[in-house]
């Protein structure tokens, strides 16, 4: 039975939402974070909960990993240095955290006798493969240091599963969005960045002509599949990787229009704002669309929120947490 769950990167966007989800289900939650990209305000509301423990530590330290896994029944490994552009700018730190840190975490899991290790993989693993929709068994060559690091995690999971009996499940996230995703900084994701700029009545810049498309995935769909991966008793579902998406793609132009439409009810004066079109970004693939049939079949994944439904909730949250809190 799962009582105590370690969430690495628990102060990050996905991690803090996952901590909240697990606490609501009455689990004990241990959050390991070094706050390089995680934010204290993401977890402030949990600190008074006696089922929540914060360990300020770094996955690059094996000792920190060993402390964090103590008495845990399962590990949800979300800690990583994200972003393709950041990895191109600084491949050494990306490698250190995403490969060395990952290895420390899975070694600590093995040594503590913990069976279930669910980890964040990435859709960047598909690299230069042009086939659509993306199916888990068909990948291309990586296009960035970040993509390499995430693929190495999958290879380690396979070896640790077969060699040491650790039950590993990897989740290849496709463009996750939702509340608590940081709009600030050079490496902010597109949805919080566009939303934040429009709230401030500024035009966002789209890389390219806006025709590139992505399979945007609302956070609640991600929480669902993480919990399914942590709790599944289907042996056929173990030692596998799964696409985590909604299974529909939208262009950046369509995305901009939807965000703007959702904000117009709050800020009607942004109606005339149009995006600025800039150069294409290094390492970007033109199109991304996931097949989610494998996750549906083996994990009973059933994503409930489309881009449209997720954006409605997300944009409202950003507006309320920025404009209303400061007014």
Answer positive or negative: Cα dihedral of 4, 8, 10, 14. negative
pLDDT tier for residue 156 given thresholds of 50, 70 and 90: very high
Output the average pLDDT for the chain: 96
164 is a catalytic site residue: no
Q: What is the pLDDT of residue 185?
A: 72
Structure tokens at 175: 């463009």
Q: What is the mean pLDDT of residues 242-262?
A: 97
Q: What is the pLDDT of residue 113?
A: 98
Domain boundaries, the chain: 4-179+217-247+289-305, 190-211+249-286+312-326
pLDDT digits (tens, 9 = 90+) for 161-172: 999 999 999 999
Beta strands in the chain (DSSP E): 4-8, 28-33, 52-56, 74-77, 116-122, 167-173, 176-177, 205-207, 213-214, 217-218, 240-244, 250-251, 276-278
pLDDT digits (tens, 9 = 90+) for 47-103: 999 999 999 999 999 999 999 999 999 999 999 999 888 999 999 999 999 999 999
Pick the CATH number of 4-179+217-247+289-305 from 3.40.50.720, 3.40.50.970, 3.40.50.10800, 3.40.1190.20: 3.40.50.720
* CA 63 – CA 170 distance, rounded (Å): 24
pLDDT digits (tens, 9 = 90+) for 176-220: 999 999 998 777 799 999 999 999 999 999 999 999 999 999 999
Helix H or strand E encompassing 284: none
**Equal CATH topology for 4-179+217-247+289-305 and 190-211+249-286+312-326:** no
244: buried, middle or exposed (CB in 10 Å: 19+, 13-18, 0-12)? buried
DSSP 3-state assignment of 208?
A: coil
pLDDT tier for residue 281 given thresholds of 50, 70 and 90: confident
Is the CATH number 3.90.25.10 carried by domain 190-211+249-286+312-326? yes
DSSP 3-state assignment of 185?
A: coil
Q: What is the mean pLDDT of residues 11-27?
A: 98
The active-site residue out of 146, 156, 173, 218 is: 146
């Amino acid at each position: 039975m799962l009582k105590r769950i370690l969430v690495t990167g628990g102060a990050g966007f996905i991690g803090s939402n996952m901590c909240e989800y697990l606490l609501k289900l009455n689990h004990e939650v241990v959050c390991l974070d070094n706050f390089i990209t995680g934010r204290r305000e993401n977890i402030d509301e949990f600190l008074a909960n006696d089922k929540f423990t914060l360990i300020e530590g770094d996955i690059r330290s094996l000792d920190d990993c060993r402390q964090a896994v103590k008495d845990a029944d399962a590990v949800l490994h979300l800690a990583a240095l994200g972003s393709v552009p950041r990895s191109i700018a600084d491949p050494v730190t990306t490698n250190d955290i995403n490969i060395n840190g990952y290895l420390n975490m899975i070694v600590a899991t093995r040594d503590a006798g913990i069976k279930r290790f669910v980890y964040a993989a990435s859709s960047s693993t598909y690299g230069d493969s042009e086939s659509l929709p993306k199916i888990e068994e068909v990948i291309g060559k990586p296009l960035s240091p970040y993509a390499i690091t995430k693929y190495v995690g999958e290879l380690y999971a396979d070896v640790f599963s077969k060699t040491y009996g650790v039950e590993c499940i990897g989740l290849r996230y496709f463009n996750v969005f939702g509340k608590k995703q940081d709009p600030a900084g050079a490496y902010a994701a597109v949805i919080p960045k566009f939303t934040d700029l429009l709230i401030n009545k500024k035009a966002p810049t789209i890389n390219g002509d806006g025709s590139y498309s992505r399979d945007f995935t609302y956070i609640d769909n991600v929480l669902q599949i993480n919990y399914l991966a942590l709790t599944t008793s289907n042996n056929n579902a173990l030692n596998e990787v799964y696409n985590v998406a909604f299974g529909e793609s939208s262009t950046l132009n369509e995305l901009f229009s939807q965000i703007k439409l959702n904000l117009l009810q709050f800020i009607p004066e942004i109606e005339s704002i149009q995006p600025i079109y800039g150069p294409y970004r290094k390492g970007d693939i033109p199109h991304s669309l996931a097949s989610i049939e494998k996750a549906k079949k083996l994990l009973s994944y059933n994503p409930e929120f489309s881009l449209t439904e997720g954006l409605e909730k997300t944009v409202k949250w950003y507006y309320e947490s920025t404009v209303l809190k400061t007014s």
